[in-house]
Amino acid sequence: MEVLSTQLQGVYLLKPHTIFEDFRGIYVELFNKELFENAGIDVEFVQDDISVSSKHVLRGIHGDPVTTKLISCLSGRFYLVVVNNDQESSEYRQWQSFVLSDSNKLQVLVPPKFGLGHLVLTDCAIFHYKQSTYYNRENQFTLKWNDPTFNIWWPVTQPILSKRDQGTE
């Protein structure tokens, strides 16, 4: 596994090295506790979740003060935005984007106090994430995806949004 620093301190781009492909298909190791620990990433994950969405669905930007997340794309392709929401950080409100897909097999490790949102770029995409805490919506924050103070670039201007992400819930 290759661990690459990003523009945001504490956010890492991961490239899995255990990839096996033959005439039957492909095998990819997404998580190996020993490899993570050897890379200096000591996170105890307790929950795995997926969301399946169609083209132009935008989910997020959500986060909480305690959860580390490991993001992967199992199928399709999506545009991922990570925003620093730590008011004590010199990078507060800075963001970075990534494109994750089933073909590039990249992963993003997102620390606590960061929000993340993703926009589906293909007909369908499966967004997978491991969490270091159990899901607790009451502990989450939501940042408006098009808040002008962030000046986030999104590949579409009229995404499909939930009521929560529209700011009406």
Q: Which of 99, 41, 37, 44 lies closest to 67 in space, CA to CA?
A: 44
pLDDT score recorded for residue 169: 66
CB environment 18-27: b (16+ within 10 A), e (fewer): eeeeeeeeee
Known catalytic residue at 129: yes
Q: Rounded to an integer, what distance in angstroms lies between the CA atom of residue 121 and that of residue 119?
A: 6
pLDDT, one tens digit per residue, over 94-118 is 999 999 999 999 999 999 999 999 9
Q: Which residues contact 119 (CB under 8 A, 6 or more apart)?
A: 56, 57, 58, 78, 79, 81, 154, 155, 156, 159
Measured distance CA(80)–CA(10) in Å, rounded:
16
Identified catalytic residue from 17, 79, 129, 135: 129
| Residue range 148-157: mean pLDDT, rounded | 95
Residue 131 has pLDDT above 70, yes or no: yes
pLDDT value at residue 167: 80
**Which residue ranges make up each domain of the chain?**
45-166
pLDDT in tens, 37-82: 999 999 999 999 999 999 999 998 999 999 999 999 999 999 999 9
- Which CATH number is 45-166 given? 2.60.120.10
